[in-house]
Amino acid sequence: MRPGQEGGDAMREIEIHDYARQLLEAHGPKAIAEAAQNAIDLESKGELELAKTWRHIEDAMKLMRGPHQS
């Protein structure tokens, strides 16, 4: 880990969770599937860093949703 990197990671984490919350509020449970599809599409194009961010957003929404719901 580079010096000073941990502050940037914490800010990025907050931004991801904030964005995930907004997506869930706007689109409901289907937002999780949309985030997963975005990640798949980006992975197929070789955009691995962006895909990783969408996976992170997907995971954050799953946590916010709570116990599994169909």
pTM (global) more than 0.75: yes
At 1 the pLDDT is: 35
At 10 the pLDDT is: 86
pLDDT digits (tens, 9 = 90+) for 21-57: 999 999 998 999 999 999 999 999 999 999 999 999 9
- The more confident residue out of 70 and 54 is 54
Whether 67 has a pLDDT exceeding 90, the answer reads no
Q: Is the dihedral of CA 14, 17, 19, 22 positive or negative?
A: negative
